[in-house]
Structure 1
Amino acid sequence: MKKPASAAPSERLESVREVLMGGGEVGALLRGMDWAATSLGPVDSWPQSLRSALSICLGSGFPIGIYWGADLVLFYNDGYIPIAGGKHPWALGRPGEEVWPEIWDGLRRSFARVMETGAATYEEDSLLLMHRHGYTEECYFNFTLSPIRGEGGRVEGVFNAVLETTYRVINARRTQVLRELAERTAVARTAREACLLTASSLGAAPLDVPFCALYLVDEKEGGARLTASSGFAPGGPSLPSVLSLEVGAPSPWPLAEVRLSGRVEQVSGLSERLGFAPPGGPWPEPSNSALVVPFLVGTGELASGFLVMGLSPRRALDEEYRQFAERAAAHVSRVMSVAAAFEEERQRAEALAELDRAKTAFFSNVSHEFRTPLTLMLGPIEDALAATEPALHGAELERVHRNGLRLLKLVNTLLDFSRIEAGRIEASFAPTDLAALTRELASTFRSAVERAGLRLRVDCEPLAQPVYVDRDMWEKIVLNLLSNALKFTFAGEISVTLRGGDSRVELTVRDTGTGIPPEELPRIFERFHRVQDARSRTHEGSGIGLALVRELVALHGGTVRVESHVGEGTAFFLSLPTGSAHLPSDRLGVSRTRVSTASGAEAYMEEALRWGRGSATESEPVRASVHPTAGARIVLADDNADMREYVARLLGAFWRVEAVADGQAALDAVLREPPELVLTDVMMPRLDGFGLLRALKADARTRMVPVILLSARAGEEAQVDGLGAGADDYLVKPFSARELLARVGARLEIARMRAGLNAELERKVRERTAQLQESNRELESFSYSVSHDLRAPLRHILGFAELLAKRTRGTLDDKSQHYVDVIAEAARKGGQLVDDLLAFSRLGRAELKRATVDLARLVDEVRADLAPEAEGRDIHWRVMALPPVQADASLLRMALKNLLSNALKYTRPRAEALIEISAEASPEEVRVHVRDNGVGFEMKYADKLFGVFQRLHAAAQFEGTGIGLANVRRIIARHGGHVWAEGAVDQGACFHFSLPHARVGASPHE
């Protein structure tokens, strides 16, 4: 191409500036190059197509390269610099083949096709092994090669838009490796298994892990043992089977140093260190660096093992590569932790199993031994009760007999469980008329059900064939279910239905009781599990009745399930297979060798009948009393009827006792007529003893009533819990009558003495309060009168000072004029102070007129009033959604005006002031927040802010009387709310206050 005549230097410079305009760093470099010395010639000779392409290139923030002419001379922009890497800026203006010799063989055909045919190409995540940072690097790119046509339509260059995807591609690959590693090692149950699986997973990823080795610390040997490896064979000087963990000991890998520091360490120069070139994975170059990563298991300070991981020779070690190694080691550490926990759990499970076996044997032995003394007790009692002439204390003997039967039932239940767990349960399955047996068992409960005001419906149709059951077990199943139904049913009915089918028979026990919450249903058959806070006729029970039902049904080859809806009732469904093929053949029709634990329906009935007793009684003294506190009223709460009657009879000899069956009834009785003492059991339905105690201590009317807790929980910890909750005394069952009477009498005497002291103290407090109120009224009247009388002279001073200033303006010297201004300003401040004092005085006397106030509208009105103070300033108001409140609108307006004026004043030093008003509502109140970005304050002065005449800044900095925030506190306090502040020096302040909710449906002037 013929070059045009040379232009003047200034013209050439102007041409270069026009063609290579902008472009940042690269643009400046291009403008400084001597293009006349290149094959492209001077800039002013370049064709318009090249100029246009360069304009697009330099003006774009996207990485773009332009290859121009036969030599494909390279131009690019600032976005392309990271792609050029270490070849920048040398690559500018050089032929593409010279810039990229390492990849040109692969690109040559693509460039030739574009230049010859004008067809664009596009590559996605294309691998290019580039040498741009001093080594051959594994790189990936999305790029397009598009033709640039000259003025004649011929392709003159190539437009290369390129995006490096190296990090995305490699990170995705490494993430997949880690994901597969996590999946494979998840099944490991030992540290060794975890290491073997990790080596296998990392060995399948040679692009990132050319080789690896995993060592585990062997505490016994005092070293680290090679557990797994990949990439090259173990053994020899490079991967010894055991490495010392002593610092300074000869070792190819610095395991001792890494163990002490707990940090990842890079090892370089592997060829010289190991004496051979380690493999580089699929790359021809050897791996010359590795990382040693510790396995940190649990909370141990020292590593439990190490991952030695070779690094790719074609990827430099960066933070992502380091994190990849750390995450791989973390997977191993996690599995090791799980393995350690698994082993610990296995040992714990073995210990618990042994403990469970010992517990089962203990319960079995103890339950069996309990039966003998119980039999010896119950026999004579029954004989005494059957005597023709009732004994003098027949009622007491009946009580002893009932509770002896209850204890026997509990002992038998424990014995059944111990036998089931030990596999020693003795069953005797015999063909039985199950319908008749079930009708008989259900009918025994009729009197207890009807006494409780309920209906019992029994529908047991005759079955086509006898059913094989153990009669004693079936008795326990049916009676437990009926007892459970009666316990939780207060209205409606209990139904028992038995139906037979081809191969199964089903028993349904349904009630219309309180129901079971859905979240409790999965645990209802767990032993010792009890539904918390469930309403029931009594809180007594072992919590194993339903668990025993499930075990006994399972022994029959059957199943049991439950359906329930809170407030509607519960239904238990038992399904037993017919025939005998499912039962152990050696237990069919055999006689028992062990004593039966069936206690019959009597024990269940006696207990259920007690639930139907009235819940409240007023006991009368049984004999005259001379106790110092005789006649004092006591509220007694216990859900066990026998215990309630026994204690009420003991206390009734000296005091008036109201006995109730649960904590809620006790609370109602106390609030109706506060007693001198409350005696309460801990475990009760509806409201337990601790709940009753909390309710009494939370109410000012009952806070001083002494409370004694009765509980079967013995031991120092139980007593500490009771006394720590606020109880005055704690009595453990069983207790003697003498101890009970002594404890109650002592507490009543202490309460009587305390009441006398409190009465005297209250009298003195009332007298002192009256004196203070009178002094306060006199002080308010004085301040009001003085403030009111000061207003007239201050107004005269201000008026005459302003008149003097107006008349003498321009005639007085500067000093005299200053004096006049000071007088006027002092009078204004004095007047403001008097007005604030009058307002402060009125706040304590003014009638509070509550109404529903639109808080958002009130804030807008106050902002409008303060507009003159904000004039000429850059103030950003941020007003959030504000709910209505119950308040005196005029007083609340004054409080808001003080707070917002305060925010305007203390943000004055800020170029941009930010004032935010927000609120949050709770069921009890609305909290309002006024936040600013002003000068703030130290939190140690937060309480001082709301005092009268209290100021944290000099008057020369911020004017004010020191009364505004005191007014705010007084206004909010009169509304029943409170006000507080938070802040930090030079970080702004936030003032908070609370107000009652606006009542739904309240009129604006209510």
Structure 2
Amino acid sequence: MDSPQLDGSSARLDELFPGENSTDTRFREIEWTATPLGPVEQWPQELVTAIRTVMPSTIPMLIWWGPDLVQIFNHTYTDFLGDKFPDAAGQPARECWSEMWDYVGGLCAQVMDGREAVHGVRQLFVMERYGYPEETYWTFSYSPIFGPGRTVLGVFVATTEVTMQVLGERRMRALLALGSLTGDDTGGPVGICRAAVEALGLEPSEFPLVAAYLRRDLADDGEVDHIATAGAVGFEAATWDSAAVVEVSDGRVPRACVEVDGIVANAVIVPLTLAGRVRPIGALLVGVDALRAGDDSATSFFVAVAERMSTALTASHAFEMERRRVAALAEADEAKTRLLENVGHEFRTPLTLLAGPLECVRESTTSNLTDSDRDSLDVVHRASARLRRLVDDLLDVVSADAGQLRARLEPTDLAAVTRDCASMFAAVASDQGLELVIDAAENGVVLTDGEMWAKVVFNLVANAVKYTPAGRVSVRLVTDADAIRLVVADTGLGIPEDDLARIFDRFHRVERSGAHSIEGSGIGLALVSDLITALGGRIDVESEVGVGSTFTVVVPRQPVESAAAVDLPVAAADSVSAIFAPHDTASVTVDRADILLVEDNIDMRNYLVRLMTDEGWTITTAGDVESALEHARSTAPGLVLTDVLLPGRSGLELVDDIRRDAALQRVPVILLTARAGTDFVLDGLSRGADDYIVKPFHDRELVARVRVHLELSRMREQLIEESDNQTATLRNALDTRAAIGRAVGILMSVYRIDADAAFAQLTELSQNTNRKARDLAVMIADDFTAGLSSDGQ
């Protein structure tokens, strides 16, 4: 304890250090005579003036005086000293700030010797004011205190500690970096943790060591698994007490010892959580820098970091669960679509076996059928027709789901199509006591997909008749310059308001008592909506329960100035006239009438064998591609009729093999398949098939097409035999056969006609132009392909 001051000194000390605070009290108690400053009464006026300026101020100020830089400071400055107070009062600066004097002493020397002020902004000083090295930041100014002759007597220090400001900004940067973590990151929770660790590692002063852990598969009872590390120190070589990580999963926030390069450091472990989970799903391990070991705010900050990561993990986990749910739904939807497509196509084979023989029996004039038998057959015929429409609707739905429902524009008399479709319900409406009014005046020919329009009219009128117990169903077609409007109205049961919003949803059915029938698949109106969308139009519905419903279809009108504007390129062919005109396809005699039938379905195979055997043709059968090739190579057939879907390799691959075989490449090949659509047709024709027949088909259509291709093959072989230049003729004949075969297939597909009608149309075109057959066929194929390409764009 310092000795009491003399009376004069006490008075002077009371004047210079008058405060009642601990700082002023300490300065009054110092035995100044034992210090380099000497007795208070002898202090120079410059020092007294400086003290009178510093001590009352509420701004932290410090005076270093004399050669020994004895320090005097005000009470506000004392807060910076920590455990250095009270010894720091009156202590030489070198002793007080020994841990950082190498730097601070140099600044003082600049002021004392250079007589100029120096300053620093956010300067790092490692201080030991609480018994351990501490990271601190200061903004300061060192100014000289001049005596006589500009002699520097001391240093005036004005300083502010900005440690918390620097740390706050640093920590805010870390939190902002974590703010970029989003739930839709492709890496999922593991990616979130890795990104977070990488972001935190960019602040090595705050995060010298950092690692994240997650439970395997985020299971409540799973093990903790190390997933990511990053930092300024080689954390890969670090070791730690892994039991501490397990402890945090039980809700505690322990500290762990981490050893890096032989140095043991402390680390804080904070939990990572998911919303809705009781137990943590992982942990964040953060090494605590030795310079921040006493910073109580660090733990709170690390907890905030873990909470921000937990928020991102929750969002990521939710996003991942939603992504999996959507993927599962998409997979289920795709599986459903495949099932519907496969079922729809598979239905075509039994439909063919049903419709073909049934039609033959109904049209037979020799069978001994009673009127009752014929009525029964008519019922079966209508049922098979309805089943075929349902299958077609189902496949249209599948096409719509796959984005392949595209309109094929052609000149169409919409009024005639509308009248024909609506008139189909005249008898049904009459039997039910309904008034069916059709108002579809002639409006000229427009460009549209007539088949799609027919399905729209058919479904809407069928729906109206079905749900109108009594009253009226009206069908009105109105055409103006830009649009075509179809209005189908009824005075039926109406649609409940709750169902209106879902009336066009697939498989949604409105259960209404009083309807004429409860039959329905729930795809009719959904298909109507898809078809109208493909036509570029829209459909609206107004309905009131007990009053009726009105469906309004609006599609854009594309008038056709003349039918020739959209006809396929008509070119003539003298040779076409010469080849086709003299021959009646119904009475052709085919020399090579041996046919190879490739079909794995026994019933379909027997049915086809019976059809073609009745024509006098010799049939050889095979159930797969390999057997078919073996038969063909041993005895070349006159024609190959093959299903596309076969066990093992497909019928398309059979076409490829035949076209590559020199001995078989001239054999005509007809594909038989349940898969409808232009894309399938073009795929088959592009491989070299001569024709493409879609199930279900009419038996006469199949026989006619087979006969035509047999005749073509016969004439081609005859021309080759009679030619002097066999090689050139063969090449020309092959090209001509392929071109004509493609043209016939295209005409049949575009105009929905059979082979006989296609050849009749080709013959008529030939007679009105002056182009050869091969040129005509090539132009038809080129125009058709170009049209499809432009539609696809």
TM class by smaller structure: 0.3 to 0.5
With the length of structure 2 as denominator, give the TM-score of the two structures: 0.47
With the length of structure 1 as denominator, give the TM-score of the two structures: 0.38
